[in-house]
Amino acid sequence: MALERLPSSANPADVAAAIGRDGYAIVERVVAPEVLDRARAELQPHLDATPFGPDDFAGRRTRRTGGLIARSATCRDIVMHPLVLGAVGQVLGHVTSFQLHLTQVIAIGPGEPAQTIHRDQWAFDFFPFPKGYEVQCNTIWAMTDFTDANGATRIVPGSHRFEDRREFTYDQTEPAEMPAGSVLFYTGALYHGAGANRSDRVRSGLNVTYSVSWLRQEENQYLSVPAELARTLPDELLRLMGYARGAYALGYVDDLRDPLDALRGVVKNDIGLGDLDAATARVRQRAG
């Protein structure tokens, strides 16, 4: 089965509609390949210093380099790309807010076998989220071309609606082939996994994932990005990183201070948890 793909002119609503229907969307050539080349150049010392994975799931011929907000200015822009934030906001539109979940370059070396097909939301201790209640919307940006031969991510279209804990064989999956600069979107419930790299070149993808703000983040942004650097970043990025209250009250600092105020050393007298009535009204409205 040929996978659907959208042109770079797609808007967030188009992308969110495809994700809702199929559990994934491929948008071709969202940025010029040079943008991701620049990210790679900024990250090069870290990519070179990253060891191979310690187990089969991480990949023993695969290097996973994170901390991308701290390490690459270009990655800060990619994380905040308007098409992505717009689409993620709609896919996760049933919650008060979403947050950055992890940032990671996944560089799959030649000879790496295929990764086990999985759901990313299994990271939440295999909690059985209700079918249709998405907790993650994820992206993989192709830093190199993604091909069947070099380990393009394998997906099972429509599987975000399947039962939990299923197993799949390689031929039940489809390779998300796409040229460099394209983005694969997929929900936390979509069954997928990295493909086998049967080529003689490294396949690189930039995995940036987003989750509902009431769950714990996979990559700890507070420790991955030193506070001195964090203080120089724009508020919008910091809020996405988790310097914000999740939902209504989660993550406040000492005397009910906002995390962003705490980071910036702002002292306010009108501190409080926020407006519970407004939060409740929002939830009632969403419920219908």
In the complex, the smallest distance separating the C-beta of residue 19 from ligand AKG, rounded to whole angstroms, is 16
120 counts as binding ligand AKG under rule CB under 6 A: yes
Q: Compute φ and ψ for 136, nearest 5 degrees.
A: -140, 145
174 counts as binding ligand AKG under rule CB under 6 A: no
Task: Identify which of residues 74 and 115 has a Cβ nearer to ligand AKG in the complex.
Answer: 115
What is the spatial distance between Cα 187 and Cα 179, in angstroms, rounded to a whole number? Answer: 21
205 counts as binding ligand AKG under rule CB under 6 A: yes
Contact by Cβ (8 Å): 87, 24: no
120 counts as binding Fe ion under rule CB under 5 A: yes
In the complex, the smallest distance separating the C-beta of residue 123 from Fe ion, rounded to whole angstroms, is 9
Q: Compute φ and ψ for 58, nearest 5 degrees.
A: -70, -30
In the complex, the smallest distance separating the C-beta of residue 209 from Fe ion, rounded to whole angstroms, is 9
In the complex, the smallest distance separating the C-beta of residue 261 from ligand AKG, rounded to whole angstroms, is 35
Task: Identify which of residues 166 and 231 has a Cβ nearer to ligand AKG in the complex.
Answer: 166
Stretch that binds ligand AKG, among 165-173, 192-200, 217-225, 264-272 (CB under 6 A): 192-200
Q: Residues 6 or more apart from 177 whose CB is under 8 A from it?
A: 3, 145, 146, 147, 148, 152
Task: Identify which of residues 31 and 140 has a Cβ nearer to ligand AKG in the complex.
Answer: 140
Q: Compute φ and ψ for 107, nearest 5 degrees.
A: -110, 105
106, 238, 240, 241: residue in contact with ligand AKG (rule CB under 6 A): 106
Task: Identify which of residues 57 and 133 has a Cβ nearer to Fe ion in the complex.
Answer: 57
Q: Report the length, in residues, of the chain.
A: 288
Task: Identify which of residues 169 and 269 has a Cβ nearer to Fe ion in the complex.
Answer: 169
**Residues of this chain, 56-95, that bind ligand AKG according to CB under 6 A:** none
In the complex, the smallest distance separating the C-beta of residue 65 from Fe ion, rounded to whole angstroms, is 16
What is the spatial distance between Cα 68 and Cα 47, in angstroms, rounded to a whole number? Answer: 11
Tokens 């990271």 -> residue = 123
What is the spatial distance between Cα 56 and Cα 193, in angstroms, rounded to a whole number? Answer: 12
22 counts as binding ligand AKG under rule CB under 6 A: no
Stretch that binds Fe ion, among 83-91, 119-127, 159-167, 233-241 (CB under 5 A): 119-127
Residue 212: its H or E element:
strand 203-212
In the complex, the smallest distance separating the C-beta of residue 110 from ligand AKG, rounded to whole angstroms, is 15
User: Nearest Cα to 23, choosing from 147, 137, 125?
Assistant: 137
In the complex, the smallest distance separating the C-beta of residue 218 from ligand AKG, rounded to whole angstroms, is 10
What is the spatial distance between Cα 128 and Cα 188, in angstroms, rounded to a whole number? Answer: 12
192 counts as binding ligand AKG under rule CB under 6 A: yes
- Rounded to the nearest 10 degrees, what angle do helices 12-22 and 82-91 cross at? 40
What is the spatial distance between Cα 8 and Cα 30, in angstroms, rounded to a whole number? Answer: 5
User: Nearest Cα to 83, choosing from 160, 7, 2, 22?
Assistant: 7
Stretch that binds Fe ion, among 9-17, 115-123, 160-168, 267-275 (CB under 5 A): 115-123
Residue 33: its H or E element:
helix 33-49
153 counts as binding ligand AKG under rule CB under 6 A: yes
Residues that bind ligand AKG (CB under 6 A): 106, 115, 120, 140, 153, 192-194, 205
Residues that bind Fe ion (CB under 5 A): 120
